[in-house]
């Protein structure tokens, strides 16, 4: 399925309408924050937009273009945030993001991709099972013994590389929240990288190895509920695992914010402290517009481009947009003010798609743009639900005199707990 | 693709800096296709030799002058939507105006000055904050305000705002040879508030009737009229993608779908509304657009449409979309609504309240690209400008031609098409659309396009707007206007360098000769370079 050739119709039927470059016009609130594609906004040449990349895909497929360094530059200077995909699908039945994904897979197959920094972290992940090259034992060293490989667990907390090694505060907060709510939660000591940063840059083979390991590990526990606090891991388990493996995983995947929302409704969590803060919420791409469950489709395009059997489209309608907002509003003392580009129209933090590793300046530029938007709201802090977003946005937030939190950190404060 | 000689490339590079110019084939590839009308209006396309992104008018001028010095063809592009600008000639330079995106609004005098890369969504978003608006084209709010005003400028709101040529004020225009010309008040007092002077008023020339598609140089700045609207702010958005909308206060903004059993009744209704000089919008919409707008996917569109079409048994109603805005007061809304109902009763049509969220699609059309949903491509023809009666005449006649092509074209059950009224109905535009398979029916669509135009000429209609390649067909029937266009082209652009693929129906032979001239000049520069290198 994940072959560029399978998307020939999508590539050839891009109508070059430029919807992929702008926020939904109806939702546009100012000229200043009217663009949605970080890559095209920064690099300007049309080839750095989704429709431009469709032309490159078409050029490669039709052998009008050679595989060059510029092809790599164009294909990899993209955060894979999927904004183009969702904006395109406002009107058309095409799969632009899957074209971009298979384009990267093609580059890897051709022996050209991914980029050097990607190759380095993939190598590290193969050796140490995390993209940072940290010792595997360190991954769970912070976890209290009673939660490790728990036999009576109802839920597996898949921590992820970033929370395990770089954003421990998120990992600890998540575990604490689950425990406080009375969840029998387990952390698996043999958890490996979920594969997201690897699949995202087109290395399907290595990503598969990691995925198969994690799936088998989880299945062996007999538990089918997986919760994560990382939007990247969440989308990977929920969307990309079935897509890549070609079958349902049998797992019930949730993001911690969905659990918190439920726990609050059920009275399993009760806030006892005020958190006096004016905040704005940044929608992670992988929790928002790209988080709809994967829908299997095997068929063909018939006359008029009709799909046979009819395909169900993921248009970003049912992303996790409301739960984090509802949770934030329910925290005593919190005032939530919205940025202009929100939900399906959110501007990416800039970290994804391997950009933070390979194109640091682009990642920082994208983050700066988001923080400027956040600053305009008058908020004191930016809140998100993804450690990767936090990692990339935090330095720019600090420069702008703002604080940066993962939602779980505010929940801990509101519960009067410490981690 | 032939490379531009180094000397020329480096000269261009010195104008914008190395960051904003490229001849990399991968980057140039993204400038080798047209948009709407893919594989139709971009037939014979080639990859451009170079892409350059000027940041200001002076840079545009300098680029155009270099192009003239070396006889290199150039094509301006901006928002890239509906670009009849795919290169077809060797050595073509694409002048991407994306860096020129400034927008100024003069609230007091109700106009905006825009550079090429400002779109309608941006303009109307900012204008609404000041209680102002302008027409937004039905093709979508992503269209460039500047390019669209120079091209056609049609849309729902033209009932009050009028045709594009009446909305243009002062202009800054880089002529095809690189000279800078300011029109209207911009010429003498460097203020953009007025189009007629002091100074030259050549708006008819810069725009033509249906635009030159970049064939007469590059307009770098334009002032456009804005109009008062009884709302000031940023409307709250309803819904989530792909169904979003915004409404405006119902005391001042009301929307109606008028269901007319026949086309004749729809026309009679529109004429009466026109006579009464009420409403802010009054436009006939093809019936199938109700389905296009609501369908969640292509299969659903076809499913629902075929089911309902069968139920309607060939009696497809005519839908007229009307909006009443209380420009002066709430009482105006009450009054106009009463008049509207009276007219409806007299004519025998049914007025139904439409969704208040129609406001969003009216001021910032976001769903226009759904025209591609039925089959992957669509085309419009019968671009006639005259009166309501004339619109009926051409659309009905066109329908007979269209029927011959159904199938393979989608049977949208339409005996007419879009009917847009300008200036309270004193000037009417007709358009007949047909939807077809983007892969298989392109040749059929091209055939139908020409047949429809010839039908206009046969029934002595006024197909006032044509794309470049059809001027030769319509020109001889209409006072040889194409000869006039040819003379204008030759006078302003003797080297035929400005967007050569367009505006050329009449300059085809000349274009071939000139292509050879460009080639020879470029080759001679290359030879010269080689000699110089060898000697040094």
Which tens digit of pLDDT belongs to each residue from B366-411? 999 999 999 999 988 888 889 999 999 999 999 999 999 999 999 9
Share the mean pLDDT of chain B. 90
Closest residue in chain A to residue B295, using alpha carbons only:
A91
Instruction: Judge whether A393 lies within some domain.
Output: no
Domain that holds residue A200: 128-266
B288 and B350 inside one domain: yes
Instruction: Judge whether B240 lies within some domain.
Output: no
A195 and A98 inside one domain: no
Counting one residue from chain A and one from chain B, the pairs whose CB atoms sit within 8 A come to: 191
CA distance B45 to B99: 25
Instruction: Judge whether A317 lies within some domain.
Output: no
- Judged by CB atoms closer than 8 Å, whether chains meet at B26 and A74 is answered as yes
User: From the CA of A236, how many Å to the nearest CA of chain B?
Assistant: 22
pLDDT for res B45? 83
pLDDT for res B40? 75
Find chain A residues with C-beta within 8 A of B376's C-beta: 13, 304-305
B107 and B40 inside one domain: no
A135 and A104 inside one domain: no
pLDDT for res A140? 95
Instruction: Judge whether B397 lies within some domain.
Output: yes
B434 and B293 inside one domain: yes
A226 and A192 inside one domain: yes
CATH code for the domain in which residue B433 is found: 3.40.462.10
Please work out, in degrees rounded to the nearest 5, the angle formed at the alpha carbon of residue B322 by the alpha carbons of B266 and B412. 55
B435 and B517 inside one domain: no
Instruction: Judge whether A98 lies within some domain.
Output: yes
- Judged by CB atoms closer than 8 Å, whether chains meet at A15 and B36 is answered as yes
- Judged by CB atoms closer than 8 Å, whether chains meet at A46 and B437 is answered as no
> Could you tell me where the beta strands, DSSP code E, fall in B101-249?
103-106, 111-114, 132-133, 168-174, 180-183, 218-225, 227-228, 237-240, 243-246
Domains held by chain A: number: 2
Over residues A73-95, mean pLDDT = 98
Instruction: Judge whether A358 lies within some domain.
Output: no
- Under 8 Å CB-to-CB from B270, ≥6 apart: which residues? B282, B284, B320, B388, B419, B421, B425
- Judged by CB atoms closer than 8 Å, whether chains meet at B298 and A305 is answered as yes
Instruction: Judge whether A395 lies within some domain.
Output: no
CA distance B273 to B323: 11
Find chain A residues with C-beta within 8 A of B298's C-beta: 93, 304-307
Instruction: Judge whether B313 lies within some domain.
Output: yes
Is the pLDDT at B506 greater than 60? The verdict is no
Nearest CB to A92; choose among B121, B240, B373: B373
Nearest CB to A17; choose among B81, B99, B374: B81
Instruction: Judge whether B337 lies within some domain.
Output: yes
User: From the CA of B331, how many Å to the nearest CA of chain A?
Assistant: 28
pTM for this entry: 0.95
B316 and B421 inside one domain: yes
Domain C-terminal end among B465, B500, B520: B465
B350 and B418 inside one domain: yes
Complex ipTM over 0.85 = yes
A257 and A198 inside one domain: yes
Domain C-terminal end among B228, B258, B291: B228
- Judged by CB atoms closer than 8 Å, whether chains meet at A91 and B372 is answered as yes
Nearest CB to A70; choose among B27, B32, B34: B27
Instruction: Judge whether B478 lies within some domain.
Output: no
B461 and B439 inside one domain: yes
Instruction: Judge whether B498 lies within some domain.
Output: yes
Domain C-terminal end among B465, B480, B508: B465
A45 and A88 inside one domain: yes
Nearest CB to A16; choose among B38, B53, B122: B38
Instruction: Judge whether A286 lies within some domain.
Output: no
B162 and B131 inside one domain: yes
CATH code for the domain in which residue B18 is found: 3.30.43.10
Instruction: Judge whether A399 lies within some domain.
Output: no
A138 and A19 inside one domain: no
A186 and A227 inside one domain: yes
CATH code for the domain in which residue A227 is found: 3.40.50.1860
A110 and A135 inside one domain: no
Residue A366 contacts residue A349 (beta carbons within 8 Å): yes
A82 and A166 inside one domain: no
B417 and B500 inside one domain: no
Closest residue in chain A to residue B119, using alpha carbons only:
A31
Instruction: Tell me, rounded to whole angstroms, the distance of Cα A212 from its chain centroid.
Output: 20
Instruction: Judge whether B367 lies within some domain.
Output: no
A21 and A95 inside one domain: yes
Choose from B85, B376, B411, B437 for mutation: most chain A CBs within 10 A: B376
| Lowest-confidence segment of A114-123, B109-118, B301-310, B500-509 by average pLDDT | B500-509
Which tens digit of pLDDT belongs to each residue from B418-442? 999 999 999 999 999 999 998 899 8
Instruction: Judge whether A412 lies within some domain.
Output: no
Domains held by chain B: number: 3
Joined together, the tokens standing for residue B22 give 């490229």
pLDDT for res B35? 67
B195 and B340 inside one domain: no
Is the pLDDT at B177 greater than 90? The verdict is yes
Closest residue in chain A to residue B244, using alpha carbons only:
A26
- Judged by CB atoms closer than 8 Å, whether chains meet at B366 and A13 is answered as no
- Judged by CB atoms closer than 8 Å, whether chains meet at B240 and A17 is answered as no
Q: Which residue has the higher pLDDT, A383 or B309?
A: A383
Domain C-terminal end among A238, A266, A294: A266
Instruction: Judge whether B12 lies within some domain.
Output: yes
A180 and A69 inside one domain: no
B253 and B333 inside one domain: yes
Q: Which three-class secondary structure string do you get for chain A?
A: CCCHHHHHHHHHCCCCCCHHHECCHHHCCCCCCCECCHHHHHHCCHHHCHHHHHHHHHHHHCCCCCCCHHHHHHHHCCCCCCHHHHHHCCCCCCCHHHHHHHHHHHHHHCCCCCCHHHHHHHHHHHHHCCCCCCCHHHHHCCCCHHHECCCCCCEEEECCHHHHHCCHHHHHHHHHHHHHCCCCEEECCCCCCCCHHHHCCCCHHHHHHHHHHHHHHHHHHCCCEEEECCHHHHHHHHHHHHHHHCCCCCCEEEEHHHHHHHHHHHCCCCCCCCCCEEEEECCCCCCCCCCCCCCCCCCEECHHHCEECCCCCCCCCCCCCHHHHHHHHHCCCEEECCCCCCHHHCCCCCCCCCHHHHCHHHHHHHHHHHHHHHHHCCCCEEEECCHHHHHHHHHHHHHCCCEEEEHHHHHHHHCCCCC
Is the pLDDT at A15 greater than 60? The verdict is yes
Domain that holds residue B184: 103-228
Which tens digit of pLDDT belongs to each residue from B27-60? 999 998 876 666 777 778 889 999 999 999 999 9
Domain C-terminal end among A47, A82, A114: A114
A105 and A171 inside one domain: no
B111 and B89 inside one domain: no
């Amino acid at each position: 399925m994940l072959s560029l050739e399978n998307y020939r119709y999508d590539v050839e039927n891009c109508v070059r309408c430029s919807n992929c470059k702008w926020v939904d016009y109806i939702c546009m609130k100012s000229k200043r924050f009217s663009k949605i594609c970080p890559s095209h906004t920064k690099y300007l040449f049309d080839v750095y937009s989704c429709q431009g990349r469709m032309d490159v895909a078409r050029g490669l497929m039709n052998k009008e273009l050679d595989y060059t360094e510029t092809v790599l530059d164009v294909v990899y200077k993209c955060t894979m945030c999927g904004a183009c995909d969702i904006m395109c699908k406002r009107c058309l039945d095409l799969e632009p993001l899957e074209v971009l994904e298979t384009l990267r897979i093609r580059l890897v197959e051709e022996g050209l991709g991914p980029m050097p920094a990607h190759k380095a972290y993939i190598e590290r992940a193969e050796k140490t099972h995390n993209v940072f090259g940290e010792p595997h034992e360190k991954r769970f060293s912070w976890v209290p013994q009673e939660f490790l490989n728990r036999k009576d667990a109802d839920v597996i907390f898949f921590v992820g590389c970033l929370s395990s090694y770089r954003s421990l505060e998120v990992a600890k907060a998540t575990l604490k929240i689950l425990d406080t709510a009375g969840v029998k939660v387990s952390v698996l000591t043999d958890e490996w990288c979920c594969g997201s940063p690897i699949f995202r840059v087109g290395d399907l083979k290595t990503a598969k190895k990691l995925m198969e390991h994690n799936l088998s590990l989880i299945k062996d526990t007999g538990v089918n509920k997986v919760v994560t606090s990382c939007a990247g891991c969440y989308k990977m388990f929920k969307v990309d695992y079935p897509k890549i493996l070609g079958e349902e995983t049998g797992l019930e995947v949730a993001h911690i914010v969905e659990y918190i929302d439920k726990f609050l409704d059920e009275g399993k969590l009760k806030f006892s402290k005020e958190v006096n803060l004016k905040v704005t919420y940044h929608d992670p791409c992988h929790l928002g517009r790209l988080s709809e469950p994967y829908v299997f489709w095997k068929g063909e395009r018939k006359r008029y481009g009709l799909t046979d059997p009819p395909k169900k489209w993921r248009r970003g309608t049912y992303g996790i947009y409301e739960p984090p907002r509802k949770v934030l509003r329910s925290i005593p003392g919190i005032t939530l003010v919205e940025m202009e580009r929100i939900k399906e129209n959110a501007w990416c933090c800039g970290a994804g798609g391997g950009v933070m590793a390979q194109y640091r300046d682009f990642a920082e530029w994208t983050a700066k743009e988001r923080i400027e938007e956040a600053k305009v709201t008058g908020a004191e802090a930016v809140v998100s639900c993804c450690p990767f977003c936090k990692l990339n946005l935090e330095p720019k937030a600090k420069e702008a005199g703002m604080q940066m939190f993962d939602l779980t950190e505010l929940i801990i404060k509101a519960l009067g707990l410490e981690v | 693709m032939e490379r531009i000689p180094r000397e020329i490339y480096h000269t261009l590079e010195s104008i914008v800096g190395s960051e904003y110019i490229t001849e990399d084939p991968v980057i140039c590839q993204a400038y080798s296709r047209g948009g709407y009308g893919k594989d139709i209006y971009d037939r014979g396309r080639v990859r451009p030799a170079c892409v350059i992104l000027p940041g200001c008018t002076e840079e545009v001028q300098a680029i155009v002058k270099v192009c003239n010095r070396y006889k290199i063809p150039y094509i301006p592009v901006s928002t890239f939507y509906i670009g009849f600008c795919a290169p077809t000639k060797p050595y073509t330079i694409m002048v991407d105006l994306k860096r020129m995106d400034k927008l100024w609004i003069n609230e007091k005098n109700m106009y905006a000055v825009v550079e090429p890369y400002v779109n309608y969504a941006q303009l109307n978003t900012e204008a609404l904050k000041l209680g102002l608006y302008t027409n937004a084209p039905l093709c979508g709010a992503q269209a460039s305000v500047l390019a669209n005003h120079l091209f056609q400028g049609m849309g729902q709101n033209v009932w009050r705002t009028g045709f594009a040529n009446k909305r243009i004020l002062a202009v800054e225009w880089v002529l095809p040879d690189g000279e800078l010309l300011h029109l209207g008040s911009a010429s003498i007092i460097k203020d953009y508030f007025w189009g007629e002077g002091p100074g030259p008023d050549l708006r008819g020339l810069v725009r033509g009737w249906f635009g030159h598609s970049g064939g007469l140089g590059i307009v770098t700045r334009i002032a456009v009229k804005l109009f008062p609207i009884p709302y000031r702010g940023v409307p709250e958005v309803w819904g989530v993608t792909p169904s979003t909308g915004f409404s405006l206060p119902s005391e001042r903004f009301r929307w109606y779908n008028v269901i007319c059993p026949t086309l004749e009744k729809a026309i009679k209704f529109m004429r009466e509304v026109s006579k009464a000089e009420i409403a802010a919008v009054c436009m006939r919409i093809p019936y199938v657009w109700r389905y296009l707008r609501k369908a969640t996917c292509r299969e659903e569109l076809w499913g629902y449409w075929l089911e309902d079409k069968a139920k309607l048994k060939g009696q497809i109603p005519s839908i007229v979309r009307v909006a009443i805005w209380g420009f002066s007061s709430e009482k105006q809304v009450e009054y106009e609504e009463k008049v509207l109902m009276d007219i409806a009763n007299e004519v025998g049509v049914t007025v139904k309240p439409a969704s208040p969220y129609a406001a969003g699609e009216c001021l910032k059309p976001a769903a226009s690209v759904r025209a591609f949903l039925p089959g992957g491509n669509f085309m419009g023809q019968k671009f006639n400008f005259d009166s309501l009666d004339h619109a009926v005449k051409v659309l009905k006649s066109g329908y007979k031609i269209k029927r011959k092509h159904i199938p393979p074209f989608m049977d949208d059950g339409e005996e007419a098409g879009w009917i847009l009224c300008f200036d309270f109905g004193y000037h009417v535009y007709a358009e007949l659309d047909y939807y077809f398979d983007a892969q298989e029916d392109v040749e059929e669509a091209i055939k139908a396009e020409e047949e429809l135009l010839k039908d206009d000429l046969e029934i002595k209609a006024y197909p006032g707007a044509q794309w470049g390649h059809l001027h030769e067909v319509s020109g001889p029937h209409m006072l040889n206007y194409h000869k006039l266009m040819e003379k204008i082209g030759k006078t302003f652009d003797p080297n035929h360098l400005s967007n050569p693929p367009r505006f050329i129906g009449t300059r085809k032979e000349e274009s071939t000769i000139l292509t050879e001239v460009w080639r020879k000049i470029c080759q001679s520069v290359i030879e010269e370079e080689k000699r110089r290198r060898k000697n040094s």
